[in-house]
Amino acid sequence: MNVEIIGGSIAGDIVIEAPPEIVFQALTDPVELAQWWGQDGVYRTRDWIVDLRPGGERSCKATSATGAEMVVSGEHLEIDPPHTLVHTWKPSWETTLPVTTVRYSLSAIPEGTLLRIEHTGFDAAHAASQHGHGQGWLRVLEWLHEFSKGKRVAR
């Protein structure tokens, strides 16, 4: 697993031992998202809304380890199951951060899926936020990897 900051972007990739259909479902199914996106002691997500169409809403609520309430909202821009998912990203805890964009690219490989994530749209004024999001994506990719273990056949 690798995540790096390049200019105004965060890029990362991970190999997940499950087919792209399984990984895409984990990224788009509200029930599955609530099961894996978060960890006790960090934050837990809930109340996922995933209107899987261009212009459709994507949002969730979360509670941090300290009890703080957060929301991430956005809209889907591109959907090509099980290869591509693109949506905007607006976190409630970053009130001055411009809306950014998250792209997931999934490729079938012999080991399962190569998932590449690109989070773009950060400006120089938000370098600290970009760094924090980069650390966050490391955790998220690991949670997704752990969740997807053993889900080797498409549903």
What confidence tens digit (pLDDT) does each residue in 90-114 have? 999 999 999 999 999 999 999 999 9
Q: Is the dihedral of CA 145, 46, 12, 117 positive or negative?
A: positive
Question: Quick one: which H or E segment has residue 29?
Answer: none
Q: Which CATH architecture has domain 2-35+77-148?
A: 2-Layer Sandwich (3.30)
pLDDT tens string 46-72: 999 999 999 999 999 999 999 999 999
What pLDDT sits at residue 149? Answer: 81
Mean pLDDT for 139-154 is 82
Q: Which of 106, 53, 98, 46 is nearest to 75 (CA)?
A: 53
Inform me whether the pLDDT recorded for 153 exceeds 90: no
pTM: 0.94
d(CA 78, CA 31): 21
Summarize the confidence of residues 107-126 as an average pLDDT: 96
